[in-house]
Amino acid sequence: MSSASLLWWVIPVVVLLILLLIAFTIHCVTRYVPVIARIFEFSPQFRPRIEPTRREGQTVTFPTTGGIQLTGTYLPRRRGSRRVGVAVVCPEYLGNRWGALHYIDWLRDLGFDLFCFDFRNQGESQSDPSYHPLQWVTRHEVADVLAAVAYLDSRPDADPAGYLLFGISRGGGAALGAAAKTKRVWGVVTDGAFPVKETMLVYLKKWANTFVRFRGILPWVPDWFNHLLCRLARWSTSRRLGCRYVNVGRAAARMSPRPWLAIHGQKDQYVPVEVARALAAYASPPRLLHVVPRARHNKAYDVDPQGYRAIIETFLERFAPRLPDDRPHDPHQPARLADSPTPSSHPQVAVPLVTPKTALNPNHDPFAVTSSNPTRQVVDPVEPHSPTTLQPDSNPILTG
């Protein structure tokens, strides 16, 4: 057969395959993207921690984007003549600032001031009538965290060293998004944080068998095509709900090399550990994923409060800009500046950096995932990011 005759056979076959691919794509987009968008907008029956307002601290209001007024409370340290640092507490979806303090209020005993606030459309903060929040982090939540940092910077006792961000679930994603946009954050601690894109992909695979008629084709569908469907669904949802979703993985990469401690429950029924590992893999060292056995979503502190405090305290001993008054001097470690009441009166006195009693990573590998179980210190190494490694597990993936 001549080359010309072969082309007459090959060209129609190639054109037919292209037309079939286009038809398949149009079919999936028109049939399944609306379904994915509806699932994406589904909010599980969360039971967020909501606690009554305390009569302590200084309650303030401060502006955020859209002319919305947020409510927050500044809580001073309980002991120590010198302030060790200031932590901004970002609550979970549907939770309030007082419930978020349940996880971190003990930092005040170490010399930290805390500033907890309510996101827009939550707690005592104003609501934006044009925005319908979900469990996914958007630019609105990131803007609210940045507004909290801007408020702290406007205070006469603003910390010249910057701030620690502590976020729970969606609040953790918002904290990472804010840290990527301002250098006034020196570190981040999250509990149950998750990325939008990767969690949605696992969610899609989990429910695909329910909605796809020809299930035999699912193993042959590449991840890039699933990502395309998810991207279109997010675009549709963002237009309808008046928001833009945050690429939390990209934000985690951009906040490096500032330190990040990610805490996650091994039995998380909403966000499996594989998703947390994928998110942690975006960031460069120093960062650590600490897995708490038997803990469900946002329940790591309740399962192991002693281990929860220990891992955070060790993280702060290594990375906080200052240390409490009662820490011993180690002449072999570099020094850190002591506290100052205002940015304009920065002191020249240094406080030594001590070596933590327990290493942040037992194997001295900043990529490691640790466990609070003393009989199993290292669960698994954090591998470089690879979206194709994410697979649904036996847990119901409802993303929260």
Nearest to 33 by CA among 209, 235, 243, 232: 232
DSSP designation for 138: B
The whole-number pLDDT of residue 215 equals 53
Q: What's the count of helices (H) and strands (E) in the chain, helices before strands? A: 10, 12
> 271 in a domain, yes or no?
yes
Summarize pLDDT for 130-172 with one digit per residue, the tens. 888 888 899 999 999 999 999 999 999 999 999 999 999 999 9
Q: How far is residue 56 from each of residues 52, 103, 157, 165, 297, measured CA to CA in Å?
A: 12, 17, 18, 21, 29
Are the C-beta atoms of residues 259 and 320 closer than 8 Å to each other? no
The reply to whether 279 falls in a domain is yes
Q: What is the pLDDT of residue 155?
A: 97
How far, in Å, CA of 132 to CA of 146, rounded?
20
What's the domain count of the chain? Answer: 1
Task: Enumerate residues 6+ apart whose C-beta is below 8 A from 301.
Answer: 102, 103, 191, 308
Please report the DSSP string for 146-192 in residue order.
HHHHHHHHHSTT--TT-EEEEEETHHHHHHHHHHTT-TTEEEEEEES
- One-letter identity of residue 167: G
Q: Are strands 335-337 and 163-168 parallel, antiparallel or unpaired?
A: unpaired
Tell me whether strands 85-90 and 368-371 are parallel, antiparallel or unpaired. unpaired
Give the domain extent around 82.
58-198+242-325+353-389
How many other C-beta atoms are found inside a 10 Å radius of the C-beta of residue 175? Answer: 31
Residue 50 lies in a domain: no
Alpha carbon distance 83, 107 (integer Å):
11
260, two tokens? 């990040």
Cα angle, residue 114 at apex, residues 88 and 108 outer, rounded to 5°: 135
Q: In what order do the strands lie in the sheet with 185-191?
A: 58-63, 69-75, 112-117, 85-90, 163-168, 185-191, 260-265, 287-292, 368-371, 378-381
- What the block records as the tokens of 81 is 């003549």
Looking at residue 350, its pLDDT comes to: 26
Q: Please report, to the nearest 10 degrees, the dihedral formed by the alpha carbons of residues 208, 209, 211, 216 taken in order.
A: 100
- Strand segments, DSSP code E, in 42-184 are 58-63, 69-75, 85-90, 112-117, 163-168
Which run of H or of E encompasses 261?
Answer: strand 260-265
As to burial, measured by CB atoms within 10 angstroms (0-12 exposed, 13-18 middle, 19+ buried), residue 208 is middle
Give the pair of three-digit tokens for residue 59.
Answer: 């309650």
Residue 348 lies in a domain: no
Would you say residue 228 lies in a domain? no
What distance in Å separates the CA atoms of residue 137 and residue 174, rounded to the nearest whole number? 6
Distance CA 369, CA 29 (A): 38
Among 172, 211, 163, 164, smallest CA distance to 191 is for 172
| CA-closest candidate to residue 240, choices 38, 93, 44 | 38
**Which CATH number do you get for residue 169?**
3.40.50.1820
Tokens at 302, concatenated: 């309740």
Q: Note the pLDDT tens digit of each residue in 183-208.
A: 999 999 999 999 988 887 776 766 55
Residue 288 corresponds to which tokens in the numbers above? Answer: 């650590």
> Is there a domain that residue 281 lies in?
yes
253 occurs within a structural domain: yes
pLDDT value at residue 360 = 35
- Is 398 contained in some domain? no
Which residues of the chain are modeled with pLDDT < 50?
328-370, 372-400
CA distances from 319 to 120, 240, 261, 305, 371 (A): 31, 42, 11, 21, 20
How many angstroms separate the CA atoms of 371 and 74, rounded?
32
Contacts of 123 (CB under 8 A, 6+ apart): 71, 91, 95, 96, 97
